[in-house]
Amino acid sequence: MPLPKEGIMPGASGAEELLYAGRPALVPGFGAALLAVVTLGISLLVGWFRTRGVQYKITSQRIVIERGVFSKRMEQIDLYRVVDYVVERPFGQRVMGTGNLVLESMDKTSPQIRIENIKTDVMALYERLRFATEQEKRRRGVRVVDNERV
């Protein structure tokens, strides 16, 4: 919109004249923008450490989960102890091509194991893991007795 000529006030002619039209700024000032960038950076750094601090190893006989960046913790479960599987693929993870695998086991220290944000075809891994679990149970001569009554 052109600036008014000298000596003439906007709207002096009696017609309504638009002086400003717009929306508020998303970030009102430099401090808020800096705070948003720092907060985002810290949250991305924390997320990076969380993902780099976890490693899954799934073999034909066991599952090993190592957690920690500076202090490490290792959790291991033999496949013959796994009794049930749940595949979780929420919308956001399906879009990103990841998923979760939740395993129920007979192990007293780890009755439930969550393998989260797996960057592979979770359904294919589920099928391979189920087959390997049955193979390991046969190899060890383990039979699971289900005493649940309906």
> Is residue 110 domain-resident?
yes
CB distance 84 to 68 below 8 Å: no
> Is residue 28 domain-resident?
no
> Is residue 148 domain-resident?
no
pLDDT for the residue numbered 27: 59
> Is residue 20 domain-resident?
no
pLDDT for the residue numbered 84: 94
Residue 49 to residues 6, 54, 111, Cα–Cα distance (Å)? 62, 9, 26
pLDDT for the residue numbered 15: 82
Q: Which of 88, 93, 96 is CA-nearest to residue 123?
A: 88
Structural domain boundaries, residue 110: 56-140
Low-confidence ranges of the chain (pLDDT < 50): none
pLDDT for the residue numbered 9: 56
pLDDT for the residue numbered 100: 93
pLDDT for the residue numbered 70: 87
pLDDT for the residue numbered 125: 92
